[in-house]
Amino acid sequence: MEEIDQYFNQVYDQYVNKIYRFIYLKVSLVETAEDLSSEVFLRLYRHIQKNNPVIENPQAFVYQIARNVIADHYRSKKITVVSIEKTTIEIEDIQERTREQGEVSLEMDRIKEAIAKLQGDYQDLIIWRYVDELTVPEIAQITGKTEENVRVGVHRAIQALKGKVDV
């Protein structure tokens, strides 16, 4: 029991900020990001309880759980189309929270807004490569794709982002 808690705490301390940021940039709401991040680490804890506490690649593992949790979240919400009106509300909400919390500037809000408009895979690649600064091999381990495919994906993602920021 102690061994499980110790290992969980170690992984939690190392990745909680990254996982929260990853989720927050995709859902844009603090409360939802907190709830989903909690769910990620709850699933991690259950996995450690059931299996061997040592996970070969904890980073890839927690990001994979995070992707599943986000997918489950949107599936449960049945969100298929995000209307322009809703996006505007979300942007306003992000801006309000940003002002309140003083976390990032309004310039950053434009970038966040642009990321939120990208398709899911591109969002992941942008966050991993340029926000969390993971290496291409690390991203390849998370996604299960070849390094070459990741490089191409990252290139396309940044081009897509440029297009969204320019709009």
Partner 1 sequence: MAYEKDLITKLSRLKEIEPRNSWVLFAKTSIPNEANKEIGQNPSLIYKIGHLVSYVRYLERPAYIFAVLAFVVFGGIGYKVSQNSLPGDPLYSVRSIIEKATTGSDSSATFKVAERRLADLRRVVEGNKVKNLASATEEFNLSVAEVSRGLLALVENEPEKALQASRELVQLQKGKAQIEQILGATIGEEETSGLKSATKILVESELNDLLKRSLTSEQEVLLKEAIGAYQAANYQKALENIWMISN
**Of residues 85 and 100, the one with the C-beta less far from partner 1:** 100
Kindly indicate which of the ranges 30-38, 52-60, 81-89, 138-146 contains the residues binding partner 1, using the contact rule CB under 8 A: 30-38
**Of residues 54 and 84, the one with the C-beta less far from partner 1:** 54
Q: What token pair was written down for 45? A: 């804890």
Q: What token pair was written down for 75? A: 């599936």
Interaction of residue 20 with partner 1, rule CB under 8 A: yes
Identify the CA nearest to 28 among candidates 105, 107, 85, 88. 88
Cβ atoms within 10 A of the Cβ of 54, count? 9
Identify the CA nearest to 46 among candidates 8, 76, 13. 8
Helix (H) or strand (E) segment spanning residue 162? helix 147-166
Residue 74 CB, shortest distance to partner 1, in Å, is 20
Interaction of residue 165 with partner 1, rule CB under 8 A: yes
Interaction of residue 152 with partner 1, rule CB under 8 A: no
Interaction of residue 146 with partner 1, rule CB under 8 A: no
Residue 73 CB, shortest distance to partner 1, in Å, is 17
Cβ atoms within 10 A of the Cβ of 24, count? 21
Name residues contacting partner 1, limited to 66-105 (CB under 8 A).
Answer: 103-104
